[in-house]
Structure formats: structure tokens, C-alpha cells
Amino acid sequence: MAEGIKDKVAILGMGCSKFGERWDASPSDLMVEAFEECLADAGIERGQIEAAWFGAGIDAFHVGASALPMAIALRLNYIPVTKVENMCATGTEAFRGAVYAVASGACDIALALGVEKLKDTGYGGLPQRSRGVENDMYWPNLSAPGAFAQLATGYRARHRLNKEDLKRAMAHVSVKSHANGAKNPKAHLRREITAQQAIDAPYIAEPIGLYDCCGVSDGSACAIVTTPQIARGLGKERLIAVKALQLAVSNGAESGHESWDGSYLKTTRIAAQRAYDEAGVRKPAEEISMTEVHDCFSITELVTMEDLQLAEEGKGVTAVLDGNFDAEGKLPCQIDGGLKCFGHPIGASGLRMIYENYLQLQGRAGPRQLPDPKLGLNHNLGGFPHQNICSISMIGHM
């Protein structure tokens, strides 16, 4: 019977580029920026890395379909390098490959890196025609804001909320994240906003307004992982270990019949429970110190906190407005600013989330440092609410 990976893998080092409109930087430049920080943090030579996983989502525009661009950019000599993609969960997918390789004993030291250049491609998350006729007729008018606006509508209908209360809670999510992001030199958006600005902003897809949406950014993040024994042998004293790593992928059932009402993310609920079981977490709201969740839109974060069992079902609005997930709240969420302030370079986002919790657990987060965190949860979402991928990782002290 599978026993899971709890405490079998330690994070040796991590790195993260500055996120933003990086017109001056190529994908290779961003990879090198994140990797150099990561390698220095790990305290090893690049020749000690035995295998690598490379995550990029929209590869046709910038890095191509293979893993060669990372091997070339980082001068990884003759080791296996694997390209992975799993929609917006690509960053965590790269991490999963490296972690599983070490946990299995296939290699001792592995690298996971994700990168995305979105600004140069003009990508904005809006629908566009493709060359294939079958793709032209598949979701021809779907957009990310439109899909997650439907999540907001489904959530409001199920829990019989009025529009004003939901809008106020969504605004609070954005205000909180901007306040956190203003303290982070690597964030793209570093300006605080007011609740009224968020409420009065023009709609993108009702009820989602401009300040409810994450930005379009360029960025890269990476991790080097190994076994706890090797980490200690390299002089690492306070180990940050992987406690769980779970992936759930929809088979499309949510689109096929009425068993799902559009008010929550089923993949998040399934992946979360599996991760809690793997990590031995029985009371998530009491045992988890902080979360980085996939806040592509403010409504996504609100619903996710319920799906992760960190707010009572139907009480997410109250929990948000009570400040439970603020920096000073019971369970801080997006302490680095989240996707809201970093944007969403698809291949990098999952690793960027892990990077923040890693810094927090080491007490290295500077002005946004939380007091004595013990366990961090990272939630990386892909696709749309009705056909979805969810990857969850948890890291903490050994």
C-alpha cells in the first residue's frame, strides 16, 4: 500500500526572479536569475544536480516544446531534463517530478524550474481562434474571467448571498493581497488599493471587476530538492521538508451532468483531503500556519478557503470580512501578494508559491515575516472550474 512522501524530501534551496513586465529579459534570462539564487541558497555546484524538470505553459510562443532551453540556459551537462505542462498548475507539476524522483531513490539531488514570458506574446487570457477546426468549435467564446465569474454566480446562488456582500468580500481579498504585495520587492504590483476602488472598478465579467483579476506578468522560480540525510550532510540544520504533494484532475464530469452546481472546485476538495491524509493533518484550520492559494481572481481565493476546509462552507464571506486571512489574521493567505500582485506567469506560479512559504518557514521573509510559522500549504489550480486540475503541496519543519 502506498505510504506517501512525507518527510522523504527536503528543499535544499529555492530562487525566484523579479516578476513583472520584463521586456528587458528573455526566458533564459529569467531562468538564470531564479536559478542563480537557488543554487547559492542550496550551497552546491551545478554539477551535483542529477535530474531536472522544466515547467512552461504556453511553450509555442517562447521556449518551444522540449526541455532543451533550460538545459542550455543553465548549462546542465548531460543530465535528464524533462519538460512538463499541466495548464496553470505547471509550476507545481515540475516540483512534483523532482520531488518524486528523490523520494523514489531515482536520484539524490533534483531541480524543478518554471518560467513564462507572457507580456511579449500579448497573451491576456482571452479567447482566440486556433488553426484547427475542432479547436475553433471547442469553447469558442470562453475566457478565464467569464468562467470564474460563473463560479461567483454559482457560489452566490448556492449560499443565497446578496451581490453587495459578495462584492465587499471580493474587494477585501484584493485589498489584503495588495497590502501584502506592497512589502515584496519581487512582486509585479506593489501599490495598495482601497476597498472602494475595487468595488467601483469597471467590470471585466460581472461580478468580477478590474481589481478582482490577477495580472499578466513574466517570471521564473525554482527549487533544488534532496533527501533529508544528504541535506544534513551538506550542513543544512533547519530542514524544510515536503509533507505532502497531491494532484487531482477532473475527468470532465462537472461539465457532463448536474451533480455539480458550479459553486466550488471539486478537484481542490479531493486534492486537499488527500494532502491532509498524506501529511497527517487532522484539523487543517488549526494546524496550517499560512497558505498560498491560486488567486487568479478574488472569488477563486474566497471559494478555495472553503474547499481547503479553512473556512466553513458558505461562511467564506464572513471569514474574509472578519480578517481571518489577513497578514495579522488567524490564517494568513497570500502573505507575499499572491497571483494578484505577482501576476500569473503560468510555468512559474506554483513554484513561486512554494518559494514564499519556504522563506517564511526559514524566517527570511523580511518585513512580511510571520511569527514562527510551522506548516505552509500551496494550492495551484489549472483550467476552468468545470474542467479543472488542482495540485497541492505542503511544506514544514522536520
Contact call for residues 154 and 69 (beta carbons, < 8 A): no
Question: Hey, which residues are catalytic here?
Answer: 88, 344
> Residues 269, 361: one domain?
yes
Other CB atoms within 10 Å distance of the CB of residue 205:
19
On whether residue 269 sits in a domain, the answer given is: yes
Other CB atoms within 10 Å distance of the CB of residue 22:
23
CA triple 113-298-122, angle to 5 deg: 55
- Residue 242: phi and psi, rounded to 5, are -80, 125
Three-state secondary-structure class, residue 221: strand
Which CATH number do you get for residue 114?
A: 3.40.47.10
- List 223's β-bridge partners, or say none: 14, 112
On whether residue 210 sits in a domain, the answer given is: no
> Residues 190, 311: one domain?
yes
Range of 27's domain?
Answer: 10-119+218-237
On whether residue 60 sits in a domain, the answer given is: yes
pLDDT of residue 142: 75
On whether residue 114 sits in a domain, the answer given is: yes
> Residues 227, 193: one domain?
no
> Residues 73, 179: one domain?
no
> Residues 320, 372: one domain?
yes
Domain total for the chain?
A: 2
For the chain, first and last CA: distance in Å? Answer: 24
How many angstroms separate the CA atoms of 40 and 203, rounded? 44
On whether residue 61 sits in a domain, the answer given is: yes
Per-residue pLDDT of the chain (398 residues; tens, 9 = 90+): 688 999 999 999 999 999 999 999 999 999 999 999 999 999 999 999 999 999 998 866 678 888 999 999 999 999 999 999 999 999 999 999 999 999 999 999 999 999 999 888 756 554 454 444 444 444 556 789 999 999 999 999 999 999 999 999 999 999 999 999 999 999 999 999 999 999 999 999 999 999 999 999 999 999 999 999 999 999 998 999 999 999 999 988 888 888 899 999 999 999 999 999 999 999 999 999 999 999 999 999 999 999 999 999 999 999 999 999 999 999 999 999 999 999 999 999 999 999 999 999 999 999 999 999 999 999 999 998 988 999 999 999 99
pLDDT of residue 119: 86
On whether residue 130 sits in a domain, the answer given is: no
On whether residue 310 sits in a domain, the answer given is: yes
> Residues 178, 250: one domain?
yes
- DSSP assignments along 237-294, one per residue: -S-EEEEEEEEEE--SHHHHSTT--SSS-HHHHHHHHHHHHHHT-S-HHHH--EEE--
Three-state secondary-structure class, residue 53: strand
> Residues 228, 264: one domain?
no
How many angstroms separate the CA atoms of 372 and 363, rounded? 8
> Residues 105, 186: one domain?
no
How many angstroms separate the CA atoms of 70 and 370, rounded? 34
Contact call for residues 388 and 266 (beta carbons, < 8 A): yes
> Residues 385, 301: one domain?
yes
Those residues whose C-beta lies under 8 Å from the C-beta of residue 78, and which sit 6 or more positions away, are none
On whether residue 298 sits in a domain, the answer given is: yes
> Residues 296, 273: one domain?
yes
> Residues 304, 231: one domain?
no
- List 376's β-bridge partners, or say none: 290, 395
> Residues 229, 308: one domain?
no
